[in-house]
């Protein structure tokens, strides 16, 4: 059976990815701090920031790393700690997990990795300096790793725009905010977790000739002006 590790599979986009993979009869291992509601997975309670050695797994065909942050501040209010916190959860912890499971992934005949970036890397947005820097680091890492590990492991990135998840709750907690956010997107809606999960699982499982790419699942926001 094909086996995937979803880091941050308890909520938001990660939980939707887990549900999608289970529908495909995949075996799924989840790391998160809180217990996922979904059954029929193997769950390890792990904080990826504070953990340095992760559980041994016997086999792995793919890895998705979901933990991230939204820390929006003007540049003059961003401290070094803000940058370090964003780099730690979005980039350094992703690299840490990836490095540990790399030997196992290399043993799979169809290994694949998906990381999460944000629309704010391709399109400059006010107050996104810290998160866009951290995600840009991750995109650069992913592209370099994809080159280094081809043809053994495909490595891609999904870059969503605003998506209705616990992480984005503060940005979507009133009808006015929801409507304004929807109207900023050429497709006139914010993201939902199924859209992002479908794109992620496509890259993870099906896109056999795609590596080193960033897929922008963002309602057209990064590239269109309408």
Ligand X SMILES: NC(=O)c1ccc[n+]([C@@H]2O[C@H](COP(=O)([O-])OP(=O)(O)OC[C@H]3O[C@@H](n4cnc5c(N)ncnc54)[C@H](OP(=O)(O)O)[C@@H]3O)[C@@H](O)[C@H]2O)c1
Q: Which is nearer to ligand X, 149 or 168 (CB)?
A: 168
Please state the closest distance from residue 119 (CB atom) to ligand X, in A: 6
Single out the segment in contact with ligand X by CB under 6 A; choices: 20-28, 65-73, 75-83, 99-107.
Answer: 65-73
The correct pick among 20, 156, 165, 200 for binding ligand X (CB under 6 A) is 165
Please state the closest distance from residue 151 (CB atom) to ligand X, in A: 27
Interaction of residue 118 with ligand X, rule CB under 6 A = yes
Q: Which is nearer to ligand X, 70 or 152 (CB)?
A: 70
Single out the segment in contact with ligand X by CB under 6 A; choices: 121-129, 157-165, 179-187, 207-215.
Answer: 157-165
Quote the distance between the C-alpha of residue 169 and its chain's center: 17
Residues 199, 20: Cα–Cα separation, whole Å: 11
Quick one: three-class SS letters along the chain? CCEEEEECCCCHHHHHHHHHHHHCCCEEEEEECCCCCCCCCEEEECCCCCCCCCCCCCCCCEEEECCCCCCCCCHHHCCHHHHHHHHHHHHHHHHHHHHHHHHHHHHCCCEEEEEECCHHHHCCCCCCHHHHHHHHHHHHHHHHHHHHHCCCEEEEEEEECCECCHHHHHHCCCHHHHHHHHHHCCCCCCECHHHHHHHHHHHHHHCCCCCCCEEEECCCCCCCCC
Interaction of residue 162 with ligand X, rule CB under 6 A = yes
Q: Which is nearer to ligand X, 61 or 164 (CB)?
A: 164
| Number of residues counted as binding ligand X (CB under 6 A) | 28
Q: Which of residues 23-62 bind ligand X (CB under 6 A)?
A: 31-34, 46-49
Single out the segment in contact with ligand X by CB under 6 A; choices: 54-62, 75-83, 139-147, 160-168.
Answer: 160-168
Please state the closest distance from residue 128 (CB atom) to ligand X, in A: 10
Interface residue list for ligand X (CB under 6 A): 8-14, 31-34, 46-49, 66-68, 89, 116, 118, 160, 162-163, 165-168
């Amino acid at each position: 059976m094909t086996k995937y590790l979803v880091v941050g599979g308890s909520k938001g986009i990660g939980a939707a990815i887990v549900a999608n993979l289970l529908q495909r009869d995949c075996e799924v291992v989840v790391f998160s701090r809180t217990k996922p509601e979904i059954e029929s997975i193997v769950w390890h309670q792990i904080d990826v920031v504070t953990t340095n050695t992760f559980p041994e797994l016997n086999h792995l065909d793919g890895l998705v790393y979901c933990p991230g942050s939204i820390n929006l501040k003007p540049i003059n209010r961003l401290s070094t700690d803000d940058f370090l916190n964003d780099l730690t959860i979005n980039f350094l912890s992703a690299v840490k997990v990836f490095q540990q499971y790399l030997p196992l992934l290399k043993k799979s005949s169809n290994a694949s990795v998906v990381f999460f970036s944000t629309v704010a890397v391709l399109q400059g947005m006010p107050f996104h300096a810290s998160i866009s820097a951290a995600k840009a680091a991750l995109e650069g890492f992913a592209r370099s790793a994809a080159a280094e590990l081809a043809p053994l492991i495909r490595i891609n990135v999904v870059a969503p725009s605003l998506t209705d998840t616990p992480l984005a709750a503060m940005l979507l907690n009133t009808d006015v905010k929801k409507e304004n956010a929807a109207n900023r997107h050429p497709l006139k809606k914010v993201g939902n977790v199924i859209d992002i999960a479908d794109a992620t699982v496509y890259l993870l499982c099906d896109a056999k000739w795609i590596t080193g790419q960033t897929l922008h699942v963002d309602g057209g926001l990064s590239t269109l002006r309408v």
